[in-house]
Structure 1
Amino acid sequence: MTKKYIAKDFLKLAAKGHSHEAFRLYVGVNFKHHNVYFKGDANTLMLAMEESSRQNPNKIFEIHHTIGDKDMVAVHSHVKQNTNDRGIAVVHIFRFESEKIVELWDLGQAVPPEMVNKNGMF
């Protein structure tokens, strides 16, 4: 299993409401994350992902690009809470140790109603 596969599967499982499974399969013991809205531990993020899935059961998660370099993987995706939502462009950056995710950053930008740049976000 490649690090790219692990990163993508982790995100897909979490988006579908299976955050406990995602963390059980892929997250290392010393995991930390850098989302400024939550404490930096695995359990807090896992529960937040679970709550998001409960509140948004029709979430749409589409991966557009995946980049890997040594122990790092970046995933560029489009996340919509439902079919009417324009969504957010998100980049998740994973750091691995021994095939386990040990660190995670996530950055997001809302998809605006009109874009000046005709190339789009994806």
Structure 2
Amino acid sequence: MTKKSIALNFLKLAAKGHSHEAFRLYTGKNFKHHNAYFKGDADTLMLAMEESARTNPNKIFEIHHILRDGDMVAVHSHVRQNSADSGTAVVHIFRFELDKIVELWDLGQPIPKKTINENGIF
């Protein structure tokens, strides 16, 4: 399995409410993350992802780009909490050791109803 497919599977499982499985299958023992809203350990993030999926059972997760550079993978996606939500453009950056995710950053930009840029966000 490639690092790109591991990152993609991790995010898809988490978005569908299977964060325990995502973490069990794909993260390393010393996993840490950099989301400013949660403690930096795996358990805290896993539970937050689980709660998000429970609160938003109709979440829509669409991948637009996935890039790899050595032990790093970046995934650019569109996340909507439901079909009426314009959503957020999100970039997840993963760092791997061997075939396990050991570090994660995530950055988001809410998608406004009207944009000035004629190229769109995606």
Q: TM-score, normalised by structure 2?
A: 0.99
Question: SS in structure 1 opposite 2:7?
Answer: helix
Alignment of 1:87 with 2:87, yes or no, is: yes
Q: What are the Cα deviations for residues 32-68 of structure 1, in whole angstroms up to 9, with x where unaligned?
A: 0000000000000000000000000000000000000
| Aligned match of 2:15 | 15
Equivalent pairs: percent with the same residue?
Answer: 77
Deviation of 1:87 (Å): 0.1
Deviation of 1:71 (Å): 0.2
**Aligned partners of 1:120 and 1:26: how far apart in 2?**
33
Alignment of 1:98 with 2:101, yes or no, is: no
Name structure 1 gaps, 5 residues minimum: none
Question: SS in structure 1 opposite 2:44?
Answer: helix
Deviation of 1:98 (Å): 1.1
| Aligned match of 2:30 | 30
**1:1-122 map, 5 Å:** 1-122=1-122
**Aligned partners of 1:14 and 1:121: how far apart in 2?**
23
**Aligned partners of 2:9 and 2:119: how far apart in 1?**
28
Structure 1 segments (4+ residues) deviating >6 Å: none
**Aligned partners of 2:86 and 2:99: how far apart in 1?**
34
Deviation of 1:8 (Å): 0.5
Name structure 2 gaps, 5 residues minimum: none
**Aligned partners of 1:120 and 1:42: how far apart in 2?**
34
